[in-house]
Amino acid sequence: MCDSDKCACLVTGVTSGLGQALTIALAREGWPLVILARDLGRGETALAAIRQAGAWKAELVLADLADLASVRRAAAEVSARHPRLHLLVNCAAVYRSKREVTHDGLEMMFATNHLGPFLLTHLLLDRLRADGSGRILNVTAPSTVRPDFEDLQGAEHFRSLHAFGATKMANLLFTFALARRLDGNSVTANAIHPGVLRSGLMRQAPAPMRWLTNLMGTSPQQAAEPILRVATEASFATQNGGFFHNAKKIAPPSGALDVQTQELLWQESLRLAGLEA
């Protein structure tokens, strides 16, 4: 094990909301932490909050998940510092009401919510395998929106809520395809549905949606508690390819279990991320 008894946990999306709440919960349980943030100032503020919660073994790595070169640099930095990782939580996500294109020519939500985490996970797999019981958790939602493989980047037809939903389905497809490849391995991959949260994620969404989210949503701190269990408790160590809500398995949308769709997304993601098949 690392650092006497625990290897580091890496979490993305830590500057607010669920990601920040989860890192603070991990800190209170004594886990060494690596946090990924795009902005230095907000990252340092998040790091200070984590250290205040008790995690002196915490460090910040700058990474923009929408920039594939930035993801590669961050993964190389993490790998150089940590020969082993216990946990990777892909928590970061964005919602954009209008189509934005990244430096790599990708639609912003597709790049940030799916392809960046896809690349990061691949680049850190060896470090997770070295732990002997590494865990990957992809935070997503029970979306039924199938990615349009004829127009993945929304260049022809862009509808923001549809595009966002497709990225959440992509998280599920990726998780289940990865879990199948990891079966019998020392690493597990599972998807997590945190429920409806009061957070800033959907601040560009239509006003009625924002109102309902604020009315019905739970706090990030409440949502983080069951995710912490799946991330760290021994009873979840061998769970692989599951979809969890409140630390209980739930049925994913049927479309997410379609192996052909999983493989279509997997192969296209490898190509776009510049990874070998």
Q: Are 193 and 244 in contact (CB under 8 A)?
A: yes
Element (H, E) at 49: helix 40-52
Domain for residue 2, yes or no? no
For 197-211, the pLDDT digits (tens) are 656 555 555 555 554
pTM of the predicted protein model: 0.93
For residue 16, the domain's CATH number is 3.40.50.720
Domain for residue 260, yes or no? yes
Q: Which residue's entry shows tokens 């560009």?
A: 204
Q: Please give the tally of structural domains in the chain.
A: 1
pLDDT at 26 over 50: yes
For 222-275, the pLDDT digits (tens) are 999 999 999 999 999 999 999 999 999 999 999 999 999 999 999 999 999 999
| Cα(65)–Cα(160) distance, integer angstroms | 19
Domain for residue 3, yes or no? no
Half-sphere exposure (CA, 13 Å, Cβ side) for 57? 18
Domain for residue 277, yes or no? no
Beta pairing, strands 8-12 & 248-249: unpaired
Q: Which domain holds residue 206?
A: 8-271
